[in-house]
Amino acid sequence: MPPRTSAPYAAIALVLASALAAPALAARAVRPSLVQIDAVARARGNRRAIAVAIGERLFTHVLPVQLLEIRASGLGKRAYVGLRFSGEKFHGPVSEARLDRELLSAVENAFAVSPEIREVDCWIVVPIPVAPGAIVSGDKAVPTERDVLTLSVRRGESAAHLARRLKDGEGIVVDPHWVARALARGTTHA
């Protein structure tokens, strides 16, 4: 009696091996870039895909002012974006003019991601010293940071108008002490 062939078993084994190896090969082929990792790590809100897309545009170069969070939220065909920056530990020299250019660029890049975005808000925050043992989350939490600059931009505002508003301080809440301490020198604080 001739030995039994295992051709059907070999074919099944080959199919299974291919199926198991395909995801591993695909995972190696689409390794996320540092830009994508940063964008995903900082994205928040119920329109997270928009937040990630904004991050992917903004993280193509090193921002002198750290971008801490990108929040995109909305309902229906409307989305609203918040960009939260750190007012300390800059990645490069930051003067008032450079900060204005970075904010203008960040707002323009955010609006370019989706026509659903109706408004982009920017906050620059600095930490507030908190006593050891203080409650920092929950209903009885003490604040851990404060705004030193806030800016709201609605879709349709021209870049030239926004640049003028930034230069003149029109419609912008800013802490002049922070500007004097952090920006006047135009140096790196990292």
* 2-48 pLDDT, tens digit each: 555 555 555 555 555 555 555 555 555 678 899 999 999 999 999 99
Q: What is the mean pLDDT of residues 67-92?
A: 95
pTM for the model stands at 0.79
Q: Identify the band that residue 134 occupies on the pLDDT scale cut at 50, 70 and 90.
A: confident
E strand spans, the chain: 43-44, 67-75, 78-86, 117-127, 145-154, 173-174
> Which residues, other chains included, contact 127 with Cβ-Cβ below 8 Å and sequence gap of 6+?
88, 144, 145
Q: Quick one: which of 78, 75, 69 has its CA closest to 51?
A: 69
What is residue 170's three-state secondary structure?
coil
- The yes-or-no verdict on residue 140 having pLDDT over 90 is no
- The yes-or-no verdict on residue 139 having pLDDT over 80 is yes
- Give all domains of the chain, ordered by start, each with its CATH number: 33-183 (3.10.310)
pLDDT at 6: 59
Backbone angles phi and psi of 110, in degrees to 5:
-65, -50
What is residue 54's three-state secondary structure?
helix
